[in-house]
Amino acid sequence: MHSSVPRPRRAFTLIELLVVIAIIAILIGLLLPAVQKVREAASRAKCQNNLKQVGIAMHNCHDVNGYFPSGGWGWNWVGEPGRGSGKDQPGGWVYSILPYAEQGALAQLQGAAGFSTRNQTSLSIFSCPSRRAAAPYPNYYNYGYYNPGNSILPTFGRTDYAACVSGNSNANEIDGGPSTLAAGDAMAPAGWDGIFGRKSQTRIADILTGTSNQCMVAEKYLNPNNYVTGTDGGDNECMYTGLNNDVYRTTYNPPLQDRQGLGDTLRFGSAHIGGLNVALGDGSVRTIRYSVDGAMWRQFGNMRSTTPINLN
């Protein structure tokens, strides 16, 4: 005859519990790299799409005006409404393509309140999600600008992308620019051999390399320690400034993946593994490896070169 008294369930032993925990830890260890890989692939794709939209805006600007946006005047100036996107515009390429990137209202903000709003506004189209969020970051050095009505602000909008000013010169800025709008209007254009320079008005016909062989805009190098601090020499200004190394770089030196503790305000680079994203002169986007041939990379930034380019 069977007893009706239920038998007590055997509890987990400590060893069994530890085995289960170890198995779960192993599974997490196997899954985490896969999750990170998927996340990075999505971020890279978003970055590429951002640059595609930048390329389209650049060409829309060219279609309307007959030239690509000017490089602006210098780091002491930000975008000024009502002065177009050519040689009379003291701000740089980021400001000048706002109307062609569905941000016309932001571009037209005027007066002290308007400057404050725009200069502290970051936009996702100008930010790489592998690096940081599109947000205002500290104005660590308390910079101000010469534009009438401007003031020193606590934060600035920043960009992870830079336009190309040169292939054969290891320089991407001249000086802060003139002290008044009138002096800027009288100032002569200057620059190197890239699409963008001080007061530049480059036409497609000026690009002797062919637009599909020319660097237009790419990811800029940035020390990861300074992603959000506002202290990096190539990321301490507002993204709407004129010619300076926050928004312009050169292909004189090969690109680098972002490295902890290594500062470089002149070259292009990225947070992505393997290579950086680049918008070419024809508006297309491609990924170029960090191991690209140095001589080819230099020619890639020189719009006056007729040397055949192979970036594979």
Task: Give per-residue pLDDT as tens, 128-180.
Answer: 999 999 999 999 999 999 998 889 999 999 999 999 999 988 899 999 999 99
In a domain, 211, yes or no: yes
**Integer Cα distance of 78 and 116 in angstroms:** 11
What is the total count of domains within the chain?
A: 1
In a domain, 217, yes or no: yes
Assess whether pLDDT exceeds 60 at residue 257. Answer: yes
Q: Which domain holds residue 158?
A: 14-300
In a domain, 2, yes or no: no
Q: Judge contact between 42 and 34, C-beta under 8 A.
A: no
List the alpha helices (DSSP H) in the chain. Answer: 14-65, 93-96, 104-107, 111-119, 181-186, 294-300
Instruction: State which amino acid sits at residue 168.
Output: N
For residue 79, give both structure tokens: 């975008």
In a domain, 312, yes or no: no
In a domain, 308, yes or no: no
For residue 189, give both structure tokens: 């254009």
Of 64, 54, 138, which is closest to residue 92 (Cα–Cα)?
54
Q: Judge contact between 103 and 123, C-beta under 8 A.
A: yes
In a domain, 183, yes or no: yes
What is the DSSP secondary structure assignment for residue 249, as one 8-state letter? E
Assess whether pLDDT exceeds 80 at residue 6. Answer: no
**Integer Cα distance of 64 and 185 in angstroms:** 22
Q: Which residue shows structure tokens 């090969």?
A: 254
In a domain, 311, yes or no: no
Assess whether pLDDT exceeds 80 at residue 36. Answer: no
pTM to 2 decimals? 0.89
In a domain, 306, yes or no: no
